[in-house]
Amino acid sequence: MASLQHVLERIRAKQARVGIIGLGYVGLPLAVEFARQGFDVTGFDVDQSKTAQINAGKSYIPDVAAAHLAEVVKAGRLRATIEMSELGAMDVIDICVPTPLRKTKDPDLSYVVLAVEAVAATLRPGQLIILESTTYPGTTDEVVQPMLEAKGLQADVDFFLAFSPERVDPGNQQFNTKNIPKIVGGVGAASTEAACALYSTTVDRVVAVSSTRVAEMVKLLENTFRAVNIGLVNEIALMCHKMDIGVWEVIDAAKTKPFGFMPFYPGPGLGGHCIPIDPFYLSWKARQNGFECRFIELAGHINASMPHYVVQRVSDALNSVRKSINGSRVHLFGVAYKRDVNDMRESPALDVLELLGKAGAELSYSDPFVPELRHHGHVLSSTDAARVVERPPDCGVICTDHSVFDYDAIVKSGVLVVDTRNALKGRQGPTIFRL
């Protein structure tokens, strides 16, 4: 039986060796934060180019300052490796790998399974294992725990196991790893205490819940809440267009109410590593328990239809000058899933590009954060937006409202613009088409 007290003492004294599996948008910021707090941290990833960049003190994640990364690498508190055999030397192992969807919209836990297999191969008494990857309620105790216990060690007795959902918001300048409250749920009281002790050394506030399933559900509720409300406001946008009402003005007026209303905004579709995916994890698990999530499925249907609506608005814009999409030069301003980040995961711009391409448009784009784009046979390089407005295309689509774009110059160029983000707020004219 492992001594919980021994584990707590090593964590509180920052003598525990911390391993992070998965060095992406979640894992790398977490690894750097632990290292900055004085822990000896090892990052694990199957991508050797990532581990090489980290060991050279180079950050490939915008939210991780190169200076902070270089500082902890130089101090010897952070190193990265592809050698999973070194996991046995870790006191704490934090799993931060992707959890995508299959084409059938079912959860794909293959990355989690591979990570847990690597942990299980070197598991020893006293280790604290934490899963941060977003997943359906029951993953930790139904999938992870049996795999780790297969060789005879018992969770919450010989080793400690918990779930703590990541809450990363790429590009958010206000909230980061340190000041976003951390939800923690263990498979037992000892596991919860150990995981809370770990995060308390690094995060400003830790919130313990009664089980791993509650912690898993918290994450899905947070992102399903956003997905459903975005679906609602997207439907309102479609409705307002039919009724010739400006949806952006409606939202701005509604949000003056100091209670009972929270503003959400329409757009070209859902993007990112969580919002388009997590509700399907929840609805899949619900179906396994005989419950149909009609509300969630409907919101997903509406959100998935928005790229088609954007293409319809492009058609409307071109029709206003007696042109068709087929043969027209259509330029996208921004292709990342949100402003001022380089994250392309599930970006609705990819769907817009694909639909425009199928309709016969000649495609180009500008995005200073995404120098090259490969998707469904398209290989495009970003064009400087300033050059684009000098020789305007037939139609421009603002898919991502990056702050670096000169929106006044875009409007003054006279190009037809379909604005999906209200980036041209306050500007009027016959060349501007909004959702």
Give tens-digit pLDDT for 23-64: 998 999 999 999 999 999 999 999 999 999 999 999 998 889
The residue-averaged pLDDT of 234-262 equals 96
Residue 277 has pLDDT above 90, yes or no: no
pLDDT computed for residue 2 by the predictor: 65
Best-predicted range by mean pLDDT (2-6, 213-217, 375-379): 213-217
The residue-averaged pLDDT of 287-316 equals 93
Is the pTM above the cut of 0.85? yes
Average per-residue pLDDT in the chain? 93
Phi, psi of 92 (to 5 degrees): -130, 135
Closest by CA to 325, choosing from 360, 292, 375, 365, is 360
Residue 168 has pLDDT above 90, yes or no: no
Coil, strand, or helix at residue 41? Answer: strand
Residue 5 has pLDDT above 80, yes or no: yes
Residue 230 has pLDDT above 90, yes or no: yes
Task: Give the tokens for residue 359.
Answer: 């309709």
Give tens-digit pLDDT for 102-121: 877 788 999 999 999 999 99
Domains and CATH numbers, the chain: 4-210 (3.40.50.720), 234-434 (3.40.50.720)
Give tens-digit pLDDT for 115-145: 999 999 999 999 999 999 999 999 999 999 9
Query: From the CA atom positions of the chain, what is the Rg in Å?
Result: 24
Report the distance separating Cα 253 and Cα 238, nearest Å. Answer: 18
pLDDT computed for residue 11 by the predictor: 96
Torsion on CA atoms 194, 196, 197, 200, rounded to nearest 10: 160
Coil, strand, or helix at residue 44? Answer: strand
Coil, strand, or helix at residue 83? Answer: coil
Phi, psi of 138 (to 5 degrees): 110, -10
CB proximity list for 27: less than 8 A, separation 6 or greater: 20, 21, 43, 45, 94, 96, 97
Residue 1 has pLDDT above 70, yes or no: no
Residue 284 has pLDDT above 90, yes or no: no
50 burial (CB, 10 Å; 0-12 / 13-18 / 19+) is buried
pLDDT computed for residue 152 by the predictor: 96
Confidence of residue 177 (pLDDT cuts 50, 70, 90): confident
Report the distance separating Cα 196 and Cα 163, nearest Å. Answer: 11
Active site residues: 274
Say if CB 69 and CB 78 are below 8 A apart: yes
| Pairing mode of beta strands 92-95, 128-131 | parallel
Buried b (16+ CB within 10 A) or exposed e, 179-217: ebebbbbbbbebbbbbbbbbbebbbeebebbebbbebbb
